[in-house]
């Protein structure tokens, strides 16, 4: 219980969160965000970027990070798919709670219906959607062979791009490490930009 309390306290400071979590904590958070419905609030992109940046400063090993986080992301999506396949349409009738927001599930469903299997890859880079995309695929009875292809592709692209971006910028642009908060805000904005565009499109219609 104390660990959960500490987690919520440190969610507002990504630097402290990454230092506190270490290899095991970051791995668990990546798995939870992609594999458990309760993980939608976790800071996936900024978490990976900051871990990569700290790796450039010697706090982590960038290769160990990727060896741990890529499987966590892939296994997480596989668990999400299984939850969707077993729970089926019942999830759409589930009421909101602190750890479940139906609107994110419905938004992801709409996105999935429009773009199909590639949603599994694209959703990796979108907050909330990366939690619910594998669940929606499971509910829609997407063939697991097809899902696995998008899952592996998305998991590898997401983890490597975010961690190595942080690593390379941290190693070559000192201002990034000195202004980490501003950099993270920019990353978060880029992450939610597709959602903002979608919202504006809906409003326009």
pLDDT value at 91 more than 90: no
Q: What is the pLDDT of residues 100-115, one digit of tens each?
A: 667 777 777 777 777 7
- Angle made by CA atoms 104, 8, 159, in degrees to the nearest 5: 60
Under the banding of pLDDT at 50, 70 and 90, the label for residue 78 is very high
Which single residue is written with the structure tokens 């961690």?
163
Helix 44-56 and helix 180-204: axis angle, to 10°?
150
Vertex 48: Cα angle to 100 and 173 (nearest 5): 145
Question: How would residue 38 be classed by pLDDT, with cut points 50, 70 and 90?
Answer: confident
pLDDT digits (tens, 9 = 90+) for 152-177: 999 999 999 999 988 988 888 777 76
Do 174 and 123 touch, CB atoms closer than 8 A?
Answer: no
**pLDDT tens-digit profile of 178-194?**
777 777 777 766 666 66
pTM of the model: 0.81
Stronger pLDDT, 146 or 100, i.e. the higher one: 146
- Of the candidates 40, 111, 35, the one whose C-alpha atom is nearest the C-alpha of residue 69 is 35
Reduced to 3 states (helix: H, G, I; strand: E, B; else coil), residue 97 is strand
Please report, for the chain, the start and end positions of each structural domain, with discontinuous segments joined by +.
2-204
Convert the pLDDT of each residue in 44-73 to its tens digit.
788 898 899 899 888 999 999 999 999 999
Q: Above 70 in pLDDT, residue 139?
A: yes
Local confidence band at 99 (pLDDT 50, 70, 90 cut-offs) = low
The pLDDT, as a whole number, for residue 24 is: 92
pLDDT for residue 71: 96
Check residue 16 and give its pLDDT. Answer: 81
**60 vs 98, higher pLDDT:** 60
Q: How far apart are the first and last CA of the chain?
A: 46
Beta bridge pairs of residue 97? 100
């Amino acid at each position: 219980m104390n660990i959960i309390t500490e987690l919520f306290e440190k969610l507002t400071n990504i630097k402290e969160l990454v230092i506190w979590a270490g290899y095991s904590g970051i791995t668990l958070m990546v798995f939870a965000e992609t594999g458990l419905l309760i993980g939608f609030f976790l800071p996936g992109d900024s978490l990976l970027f900051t871990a990569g940046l700290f790796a450039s400063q010697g706090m982590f090993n960038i290769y160990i990070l990727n060896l741990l986080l890529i499987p966590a992301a892939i296994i997480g999506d596989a668990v999400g798919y299984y939850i969707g396949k077993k729970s089926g349409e019942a999830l759409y009738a589930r009421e909101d709670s602190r750890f479940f927001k139906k609107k994110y599930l419905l938004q992801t469903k709409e996105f999935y219906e429009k773009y199909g299997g590639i949603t599994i890859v694209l959703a990796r880079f979108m907050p909330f959607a990366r939690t619910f995309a594998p669940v929606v695929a499971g509910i829609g009875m997407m063939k697991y062979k097809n899902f696995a292809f998008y899952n592996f592709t998305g998991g590898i692209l997401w983890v490597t791009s975010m961690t190595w971006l942080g690593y390379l910028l941290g190693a070559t642009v000192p201002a990034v490490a000195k202004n980490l908060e501003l950099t993270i805000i920019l990353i978060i904005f880029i992450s939610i930009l597709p959602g903002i565009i979608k919202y504006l499109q809906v409003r326009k219609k």
